[in-house]
Amino acid sequence: MQSPPEKVFEYFASYQTPNGEVFMTPSDLLRAIVPVFPPSEAPRIRGGYLKGEWISGELHCVPAEFFMLFDTNNDGLISFPEYIFLVTLLSIPESSFSVAFKMFDLDGSGEIDREEFKKVMALMRTHSRQGARHRDGQRTGLKVSSSVEDGGLLEFFFGKDGKACLEHGKFVQFLRDLHDEILRLEFAHYDFKSQGNISAKDFVLSMVASADMRHINQFLARVDELNNEPHLRDIRITFEEFKNFAELRKRLLPLSLAIFSHGKVNGLLTKQDFQRAAYQVCGISLSDNVIDMIFYIFDINRDGSLSSDEFLRVLQRRENDISQPREAGLMRLLSCWMDCTKNCSSFKILL
């Protein structure tokens, strides 16, 4: 997680030109951004293209026209500058971009020009781990033909002559569409047979993909044991259910407050309690199937109560995998709550 972006890009990029410059395909891009396991209904994914690495299969990723907006020269490939541009966009909390946007919108028109936008993006990169650590490829000797400052989408936003202006509302909607597209690609990865739904096993794999490596084997053992649960193993999860769970990850602070408060007052957190908290506090309706899968993985002691601390920790790590912002306040608050649970019998710790 501490590798410079050049290393991350070089690891996942699968295409190399005769002059040695490397590029990503849309499949490479997904794997670099979203932690995924091999879909249960397909062969295993390759682990990367490091020298000497065994390649065991290919990642399934449907063509995505949206991501080709980052392909500024229309060659079907993503360059390093375009990749940095993308991860910077993904790291921007909507509220933070609004503040920065208004700071550079000097005349209060609700629009900024191309040069102002580049300044905003440079500011936002200082709040993104990968964006802040990049060196235009110089850190690792990665061959890069253009600067990050000129990467991706500038023509899309400002026209070929660069003289158009970008409206705040248009860009915020673009950010929302970007996150939706990432989610659709992840779902399509697990929906290997294009059925419009994914297996229970793939859904829980997507949930635990960001778990701490110290605990991941225990989670994966639980995933394997799902085959022994006839009432759960045949469940299919739709994209709507998948998306609703993803929306819950974006509301960790109110969800954490609700779960923590309930635990302190009432002790055990049942399926009904959790479902009610998600709906009443976060405004998200989770289906019974999704709730069953959450409790199957995170009811560590099998007593009908959610092991809230580990569940919240895994979700927080997933959001950090995508955005990686330098906003430590939420993490400090969550860490404090996690520490509190060690001395509270109503929470179950994963040992």
- The rounded percent of the chain whose pLDDT value lies above 90 is 20
204: number of CA atoms within 13 Å, CB side?
27
pLDDT at 27 > cutoff 80: no
- 175/322 Cα distance (integer angstroms): 13
Mean pLDDT of 24-30: 78
pLDDT band at 237 (very low <50, low <70, confident <90, very high): very high
Sequence-separated (6 or more) residues with CB below 8 Å from residue 276: none
Q: What is the pLDDT of residue 323?
A: 53
**End-to-end alpha carbon distance in the chain:** 23
Q: What is the pLDDT of residue 129?
A: 54
pLDDT at 344 > cutoff 60: no
Q: What is the pLDDT of residue 290?
A: 97
Segment of 110-119, 322-331, 339-348 carrying the highest mean pLDDT: 110-119
pLDDT at 28 > cutoff 70: yes
- 91/129 Cα distance (integer angstroms): 9
pLDDT at 245 > cutoff 90: yes
Q: What is the pLDDT of residue 329?
A: 38
Q: What is the pLDDT of residue 127?
A: 59
Are 241 and 204 in contact by the 8 Å Cβ rule? The answer is no
Q: Which of 75-84, 87-96, 236-245 has the lowest mean pLDDT?
A: 87-96
Domain limits, the chain: 5-180, 196-341
Mean pLDDT of 222-239: 93
pLDDT at 192 > cutoff 60: yes
Mean pLDDT of 107-129: 79
256-306 pLDDT, tens per residue?
888 878 765 566 789 999 999 999 999 999 999 999 999 999 988 888 888
Length of the chain: 351
H/E segment holding residue 182? helix 168-190
pLDDT at 252 > cutoff 80: yes
Q: Which of 61-75, 167-181, 317-331 has the lowest mean pLDDT?
A: 317-331
Q: What is the pLDDT of residue 244?
A: 96
At 118, list the tokens: 């580049």
Mean pLDDT of 121-144: 56
Are 233 and 226 in contact by the 8 Å Cβ rule? The answer is yes
- 15/27 Cα distance (integer angstroms): 11
Q: What is the pLDDT of residue 150?
A: 57
Q: Reduce the DSSP state of residue 69 to 3 states and report it.
A: helix
55-88 pLDDT, tens per residue?
434 445 554 566 666 665 666 788 888 888 788 7
